[in-house]
A and B are shown apart, each in its own frame.
Chain A
Amino acid sequence: GDSVTQMEGPVTLSEEAFLTINCTYTATGYPSLFWYVQYPGEGLQLLLKATKADDKGSNKGFEATYRKETTSFHLEKGSVQVSDSAVYFCALGVIGNTGKLIFGQGTTLQVKP
């Protein structure tokens, strides 16, 4: 069945460092891919998405490219800030008109000043 695998965390970086969080997926067909972010004590919110191969999603300095050949959707940011400290979830949209999402296990990012 469909699944999403994220790199294990936590990830600890210094401010202004480069961030990569790896995400790979297994799916039949061509799902949409998402990154959601969860700040402490809050629900998830959409960070970015890509709906077809080679699409690049971007928002708030974060980027991810839908790579069909490597079944990956890695999240990157060139210079992280303390305010980026959160849990990041990679997710895929299951094909079929249900809107169901399958989430990875989440990666905790801590950015130190």
Chain B
Amino acid sequence: DAGITQSPRHKVTETGTPVTLRCHQTENHRYMYWYRQDPGHGLRLIHYSYGVKDTDKGEVSDGYSVSRSKTEDFLLTLESATSSQTSVYFCAISESGGLSYEQYFGPGTRLTVT
């Protein structure tokens, strides 16, 4: 199994509070991704990174920011959490951005915003 961990695994927070989710990998893969999973929507890309300090937006990036200061860590921050951000968040990694490369997924973080 690819070495990907996510923390925390579960979090309940209040509307308006900042939240940071962490993804940590031990594979030294260059590409990292943050997705959210919601019923009826599958997985949707929030942000991704193609190297240290190199990040870009996905299709649902509003209200989220990311940072990658080390190859192994990719942080997702909700600046001011809203109820619409209640979701399951998955981190994924990939060795390359090429078309045929597999993404490996972490176990997910279940976030509830009350």
B45 → A minimal CB distance (Å): 6
Contact A44 B58 (CB under 8 A): no
Q: Report if B50 contacts A (CB, 8 A).
A: yes
A46 to B42 CA separation, bound complex (whole angstroms):
15
Contacting residues, chain B, for A4 (C-beta < 8 A): 42
Q: How many of A's residues come within 8 Å of B, CB to CB? A: 27
Contact B45 A100 (CB under 8 A): yes
User: Which listed residue (B42, B44, B97) contacts A98, Cβ 8 A?
Assistant: B97
Q: How many of B's residues come within 8 Å of A, CB to CB? A: 29
Contact B99 A46 (CB under 8 A): no
A41 → B minimal CB distance (Å): 8
A43 to B31 CA separation, bound complex (whole angstroms):
17
Contacting residues, chain A, for B33 (C-beta < 8 A): 99-100
Q: Report if A103 contacts B (CB, 8 A).
A: yes
Q: What would be 6 A-B contacts, judged by CB atoms less than 8 Å apart?
A: A32-B99, A32-B100, A43-B90, A43-B106, A99-B96, A103-B44
Hey, which bits of chain B sit against chain A, CB under 8 A?
4, 31, 33, 40-45, 48, 50, 56, 58, 90, 92, 94, 96-108
Hey, which bits of chain A sit against chain B, CB under 8 A?
4, 6, 31-32, 34, 36, 42-46, 49, 51, 89, 93, 95-106
